[in-house]
Amino acid sequence: MDELLKLLSSNSKFTTEELSMILDEPKDYLDKQIAEYESQGLIKGYQAIVDWDKVEDSGVLAMIEIKVTPEKDKGFDDIAAKIMSFDEVESLYLMAGDYDFAAYVTGKTMQDVAMFVSRRLSTIESVLSTSTHFLLKKYKESGIDFYEDDSEEDKRSLVL
């Protein structure tokens, strides 16, 4: 994988000056390369990874398995377009396996999510069935360890 992309996906706050030192490439070249990645859509955006559990009233997250009947000539894409149009749907993936779509849905309460699923998702014509799984605890996301607060702590002893 491209080292520049790897570094940016681990920390998008690296300056091009720092990246230039780390990768031993001229700063201008990296500026150009990043602009190119952005315009090509390889880099879709820069977001903070928030530990929402630590934020008050941050709501709940659920993973919904969705089974559908693919529409004639259009396959799954049109159904996906309908599902992803809801603001409640944070991410959506087409899956291989027992079900077709995995949708990550956020809501204020479990009740909220349940209502959304039963009233909005299940009622889409091609949707055959849904199965809702609420997330209880986050251990790792985007390569970052959420498990223990001191997981980042350096446990090495000071020896020379």
CA triple 109-113-118, angle to 5 deg: 145
Tell me the closest approach of the beta carbon of residue 141 to other proteins, in angstroms: 16
Give residues with Cβ within 8 angstroms of 52, minimum separation 6. 58, 59, 61
Closer to other proteins by Cβ: residue 22 or 95: 22
Told to check if 135 binds other proteins by CB under 8 A, we report: no
CB atoms within 10 A of CB 101: 22
Told to check if 159 binds other proteins by CB under 8 A, we report: yes
Taking CB under 8 A as the binding criterion, the range among 17-25, 59-67, 86-94, 117-125 that sits at the site for other proteins is: 17-25
Among residues 43, 6, 5, 4, the alpha carbon closest in space to that of 27 is found at 4
Strands 144-145 and 127-134: unpaired
Told to check if 160 binds other proteins by CB under 8 A, we report: yes
Site for other proteins in 73-92 (CB under 8 A): none
Told to check if 144 binds other proteins by CB under 8 A, we report: no
Q: Which spans of this chain sit near other proteins (rule: CB under 8 A)? A: 7, 10-11, 14, 18, 20-24, 154, 156, 158-160
